[in-house]
Chains A and B, each alone.
Chain A
Amino acid sequence: MSTTTTLEPDPPAGGAQRAPKVRTKPSASRSIFDPTIVTSALLDSVRKLDPRTMARNPVMFIVEVGAVLTTVLFLRDVGDAETQENVFSALVAGFLWFTVLFANFAEAMAEGRGKAQAATLKATRADTMARLIQPDGTIVMRSSSELAIGDRCDVVAGEVIPGDGDIVEGIATVDESAITGESAPVIRESGGDRSAVTGGTRVLSDRIVVQISAKPGETFLDRMIALVEGADRQKTPNEIALSILLAGLTIVFLLAVVTLQPFAIYSGAEQPIIVLVALLVCLIPTTIGGLLSAIGIAGMDRLVQRNVLAMSGRAVEAAGDVTTLLLDKTGTITFGSRQAAEFIPVHDTTEVEVAEGALVSSLADETPEGRSIVDLATSAHGLVPADPTGAELVPFTAQTRMSGMDLPDGRRVRKGAADSVRRFVTQQGGTVPLELLPIVDGVSKEGATPLVVIDQQPGGVWRVLGVIRLKDTVKPGMRERFDELRAMGIRTVMITGDNPLTAAAIAAEAGVDDFLAEATPEDKMALITREQAGGNLVAMTGDGTNDAPALAQADVGVAMNTGTQAAKEAGNMVDLDSNPTKLIEIVEVGKQLLMTRGSLTTFSIANDVAKYFAIIPAMFSGVLPALDRLNVMDLHSPRTAILSAVIFNAFVIIGLVPLALKGVKFRAEAASAVLRRNLLVYGLGGVLVPFVGIKLIDVVVAALGVN
């Protein structure tokens, strides 16, 4: 893993370290109450009154039925009743309709932002003409919607890539801003972990041949549009469980209200149906019932705003439950661009010899580490890079874990991880100087990475030249982040290809709970299954094809958008910014989603206490004056009392829309501290707020002349 780094659009020259690009604010700066969204949401909230739509939400469906019933009763009696009675019935019916509309509005608002984004994406999806390469090599023009999996297309600079696929030939810079919102182009090339391209993105330079890997209509862009639109939004497990509870509570209250009439008749105080409907609507959990789907949609949307695409809401919810976070060291915990800091010779070589070997072995190494070695060798030791003409590049492989160059004169130079180099030298019959091990260990203990440089003169044996000390820097603020995660009960495990010593040093510096050193994809997989067997939920990021099994196994697998198609398929989220630190934000969004639901449920139920104290005395004090002593809010009249409760019930939904869309404020704290605060705010607050609210509304309603 040590050599895979995030592709940065403009690599820093000379090893200057940059602050990582961590987005703290949603990238799209659309405000929650964007006027265009509000306008279309208003229309949608009326459209959603269709009972077939409403039936999906039992709580609000009951309110709609109640609204219809009260309206019919009002119209039936409008001619016979006195004015005040008519005003009362009309207002109750009206506010029941508003209750439904407000809930619909909340949902439409939550959908609004996604729809706006989907519209932009749909423009990108527009049909393009692809230049299909026939098996005989000739090229025909074909509409992108007619491409099949396996087709090869030729794409040159300025053209739009016709579909998802892998580059099988060539290298190009690609503008992926249509999807990621990031204007800087990225490099895509055939082979390796950077071969995947997305349909709808534009090639800026060069020419590539793309092999199509997704059917038209099932491309990444199509999935993305469906996701942000919320078209196939499915309820998540916790949402289902909560819906069941809310339906159960609704039945309980239905029971309480329906059975109240016989008791009332026995007591000589039969109640008008309108009043019973008003009581029922006030009691059933309309606040959370009306906002539930908005909360879910908004949660997904918050992820989209952070440029993360979750393939299912289930994954977002699982993110809130994560107990083990696997973080790649490089690029996540550290800057990843490890810089050469020192060349350390062994006893029979000089520092310059080491620098020269290091320089030669890194000439063709385009990784930031390679460039930093070249920089250090040229600047500190005044060496001039040799002309590489005729030299043969030996690339890094996971098996040899070495790279280097074979020069035209027969000299071979390699650099690589200490243990593989030592094994290699020993196998090839060379000798490893005794002091190499202490040097390597010493470098590792400081948290730096040792690379050993070796060379072989034509006909000679492999000789150890010395050690390059690569220094990696932990990103600022990581320790605080991990402390927060620990407080939330999440264990962080650092994954690194480094040896255990290096890993331990960096782990200690960064403050992670555990680390996995010299990690192979198999080790990673084993770690995940072990954690899961212990009941932990595991989240990880990955980009390479060899990460795919682990990404699929993890409960939350976030694939980097720069990664391979296989990785993107295996994970259940894709981070368009390809920023592994995002995992922490994803966990927060997942937790926030549940917290918002739980808090509003508590608030909704707590509200009922005050509503009882408004409505029960109002219902009965006329015939049974003793019950007027329960009118603790001293409401003006029975009618204003019932009306105030209904109006409060409707307005509290509208009042809580911003909270539902933004989510309950998240703080990284232990569960008991979070519970204490949320219980205080939404439980106790939920009991007290309606007493004040209903009283205030009552004053206004009475002042307006309702009696």
Chain B
Amino acid sequence: MTWQNVVQALALVLLLVVTVPPLGRYIAAVYGSRDDGTAPGDRVFGPLERSIHRLCRIDDRREQRWNVYAISMLAFSLVSLLGLYALLRLQGSLPFNPTDRDGVGPTGAFNTAVSFVTNTNWQWYSGEVALSHLSQMLGLAVQNFASAGVGFAVIIAIIRGITRTTHRSRTLGNFWVDLVRGTVRILLPLSFLFALVIASQGVVQNLSGHTSATLVDAAAAESVGSATQAIPGGPVASQVAIKQLGTNGGGFYNANSAHPLENPNPITNLLENWAILVIPFALVVAFGILVRDRRQSRLLAAVMALFLVCVTAFSMFAESNGNPELTARGVDQSISTTQSGGNLEGKEVRFGTSACTLWAGSTTGTSNGSVNCMHDSFTPLGGLGPMFQMMLGEVSPGGIGVGLMGLLVNALLAVFIAGLMVGRTPEYLGRKIQAAEMKLLTLYILAMPAALLGFAAASMTLDSAATYQPGPHGLSEVLYNFASAANNNGSAFAYQGTGTQWYTVTQGIAMLIGRFFLIIPALAIAGSLAGRPKVPSTSGTLPTHTPLFGALVTGVVIVVAGLTFFPALALGPILEHLSL
């Protein structure tokens, strides 16, 4: 680790510390923390929301029980999925297609539609080569907003389940109202502002096709066999803004955030990295306000930050040490003012190992999945960090809504074990955890490893799904890709093989499992807790805001993931590292 590492990380932390609490308070206020029933932006956004409600015939006074809430969420996702699928298939014959892209193939379109609807944003294709501007704007960008909006709705419903004690008819709110509210009052204004800021720094925003430029470097012109270069343009800044803020991560360009037109300079790099983390952390602050116990959110945020910092530091350490094979051959890989240093394979020299690993930690901690360097080229340990962070279940701090949801489920599990250990029926925030909740919790815990290990193992047995690299690194690639899909992350150990029918279909299914087989049990838990009388807190109650409990939650997350994935990891990145 070098001082560059530390300074970049500190700058990011400082930005977050300043912005997260006010944004958290804003989100809480949007979702009803004020006692007088008002919410910020009533005058500006209120009329817009009301007209959307009227247009879509949403009765904003009607509340839904958990099952209706879940069905609404599923219906919305299904319609989104079908719509996006149709758009991708038909893009060749639709307008706003200046670069004349053909329709996407059936399994590829399925994969992409699922990917954007589930907030995964896995991309098996190159955006600038495969998609029209219409697909990007009406398809992907809209789903970037919608899938993040669903995340808001889900977590708010869960918080209502935990906080409502004697609410009539045990409802969790109205999915449509929550969806519209989060999108209109949080995502749209934030993205708009953020797009302006990054556009001012040079991120492209236009509706043109290719811009032709004459190459000035004769050697380069000779190597590509052409004196001109076609530079693809498009509505990039607007897309990048929501891609980062909405924990989406799907890039406009194939090179994602390593592309100079998406992420031109260190300032945009820092800001975009901030944008990845800010809403997931702010949601934790909002949680504390809404459950009227800010100590809870401080604890959860600390646990999330602990994972994030440890994994990032671990990768940073591995990457800044460089490649041991090169070190053995006497190559100077030190980081200095004259060279970026460290393991630079697959990294932008302008970012270096520190900005890359910082980003890698953030993007895999949040289920964002955008990359500013190629994780496949990390050292085995450097790559293990991001992979393991996804395997933890995307809780550090995870995707919008679903990250906090995941940590809350882990907290419930910790509460269950701890509650038994102190001799009382386990309870969280005064709600007893009993057999019904444990059933749902077990379903939740099973879904992701089943999808990840099941499909990864199946892939290893198929010749058609042969890995890109031989040896343990090949296994790491497959594990990483399904870890990414099953956790709705979307980042890739980049390699070419994922456009096959096998991978597009299986990863699509893994993404669906990772999204809905987690959200539905979690909503059901909230539904079952809703309206349950609150157990008064006594000294016999296990406090859930203490460092001791934080350690327990951390332990539960690590132990559950560690025990599940250790054998597979041992044959992948661990073996690769030990073989160096």
Q: Do A251 and B446 contact each other (CB < 8 Å), given the known contacts A317-B425, A535-B430, A602-B417? A: yes
> What residues of chain A lie closer than 8 Å to B549, measured between beta carbons?
675
Chain A: minimal CB distance from B261 (Å): 39
Does the CB pair A283–B563 fall under 8 Å? yes
Does the CB pair A535–B535 fall under 8 Å? yes
> What residues of chain B lie closer than 8 Å to A666, measured between beta carbons?
423
Question: Quick check: which of A32-40, A121-129, A625-633 contacts chain B, the rest being far away?
Answer: A625-633
Q: Among the listed B438, B555, B565, B571, which residue makes an inter-chain contact with A267, where contact means beta carbons less than 8 Å apart?
A: B571
Is residue B456 within 8 Å, beta carbon to beta carbon, of the partner chain? Answer: yes
Query: Which residues of A520-546 are within 8 A (CB) of B?
Result: 533-536
Q: Among the listed A601, A616, A630, which residue makes an inter-chain contact with B417, where contact means beta carbons less than 8 Å apart?
A: A601
Query: Which residues of A247-265 are within 8 A (CB) of B?
Result: 247-248, 251-253, 255-265
Number of interchain pairs (Cβ within 8 Å): 213
Return the chain A residue nearest B461 by Cβ.
Answer: A262
Does the CB pair B575–A259 fall under 8 Å? no
Does the CB pair B420–A601 fall under 8 Å? yes
Is residue B457 within 8 Å, beta carbon to beta carbon, of the partner chain? Answer: yes
Does the CB pair A256–B563 fall under 8 Å? yes
Q: Do A252 and B422 contact each other (CB < 8 Å), given the known contacts A241-B438, A626-B575? A: no
Is residue B48 within 8 Å, beta carbon to beta carbon, of the partner chain? Answer: no
Is residue A594 within 8 Å, beta carbon to beta carbon, of the partner chain? Answer: yes
Does the CB pair B454–A247 fall under 8 Å? no
Return the chain A residue nearest B577 by Cβ.
Answer: A626
What is the predominant secondary structure among interface residues of chain B facing chain A? helix
Is residue A237 within 8 Å, beta carbon to beta carbon, of the partner chain? Answer: yes
Q: Do A598 and B419 contact each other (CB < 8 Å), given the known contacts A244-B442, A267-B472? A: yes
Complex-state Cα separation, A630 to B430, whole angstroms: 43
Q: Do A489 and B539 contact each other (CB < 8 Å), given the known contacts A255-B449, A535-B533? A: yes
> What residues of chain B lie closer than 8 Å to A258, measured between beta carbons?
457
Q: Do A670 and B540 contact each other (CB < 8 Å), given the known contacts A256-B565, A266-B475, A595-B421? A: yes
Query: Which residues of B405-423 are within 8 A (CB) of A?
Result: 413, 416-423
Is residue B542 within 8 Å, beta carbon to beta carbon, of the partner chain? Answer: yes
> What residues of chain A lie closer than 8 Å to B536, measured between beta carbons?
323, 534-536
Does the CB pair B540–A248 fall under 8 Å? no
Does the CB pair B453–A255 fall under 8 Å? yes
Does the CB pair B563–A535 fall under 8 Å? no
Q: Do A489 and B538 contact each other (CB < 8 Å), given the known contacts A591-B424, A598-B419? A: yes
Q: Do A260 and B567 contact each other (CB < 8 Å), given the known contacts A321-B425, A594-B425, A675-B421? A: yes
> What residues of chain B lie closer than 8 Å to A594, measured between beta carbons?
419-425
Does the CB pair B422–A260 fall under 8 Å? no
Question: B-facing mask of A490-528, CB < 8 A → 1, else 0?
Answer: 110000000000000000000000000000000000000
> What residues of chain B lie closer than 8 Å to A683, measured between beta carbons?
555
Question: B-facing mask of A589-611, CB < 8 A → 1, else 0?
Answer: 01111110111011001101100
What is the predominant secondary structure among interface residues of chain A facing chain B? helix
Chain A: minimal CB distance from B37 (Å): 27
> What residues of chain A lie closer than 8 Å to B546, measured between beta carbons?
672
Q: Among the listed B418, B437, B449, B542, which residue makes an inter-chain contact with A252, where contact means beta carbons less than 8 Å apart?
A: B449
Is residue A679 within 8 Å, beta carbon to beta carbon, of the partner chain? Answer: yes
Does the CB pair B417–A598 fall under 8 Å? yes
Is residue A238 within 8 Å, beta carbon to beta carbon, of the partner chain? Answer: yes
Does the CB pair A591–B563 fall under 8 Å? no
> What residues of chain A lie closer than 8 Å to B442, measured between beta carbons?
244-245, 247-248
Does the CB pair B539–A259 fall under 8 Å? no
Does the CB pair B457–A491 fall under 8 Å? no
Most B-side CB within 10 Å, residue of A262, A264, A533, A612: A262
Is residue A620 within 8 Å, beta carbon to beta carbon, of the partner chain? Answer: yes
Complex-state Cα separation, A683 to B570, whole angstroms: 24
> What residues of chain A lie closer than 8 Å to B474, measured between beta carbons?
266
Return the chain A residue nearest B560 by Cβ.
Answer: A252
Is residue A346 within 8 Å, beta carbon to beta carbon, of the partner chain? Answer: no
Most A-side CB within 10 Å, residue of B420, B423, B454: B423
Chain A: minimal CB distance from B333 (Å): 23
Q: Do A676 and B548 contact each other (CB < 8 Å), given the known contacts A242-B420, A595-B422, A683-B555? A: yes
Complex-state Cα separation, A264 to B534, whole angstroms: 50
Offer 15 A-B interface pairs, CB within 8 angstroms, sorted by A.
A242-B438, A244-B439, A245-B442, A256-B565, A283-B563, A488-B539, A535-B536, A592-B423, A597-B420, A601-B420, A616-B567, A616-B570, A624-B571, A626-B575, A630-B574
A267-B472, A534-B536 are known contacts; what are 13 more A-B pairs with Cβ within 8 Å? Answer: A238-B425, A238-B434, A244-B438, A251-B446, A260-B568, A323-B535, A598-B419, A598-B420, A602-B421, A629-B578, A674-B422, A675-B422, A675-B548
* Complex A-B, nearest 7 residue pairs according to Cβ-Cβ distance, in ascending order: A489-B540, A598-B420, A591-B423, A489-B538, A248-B442, A598-B421, A259-B457
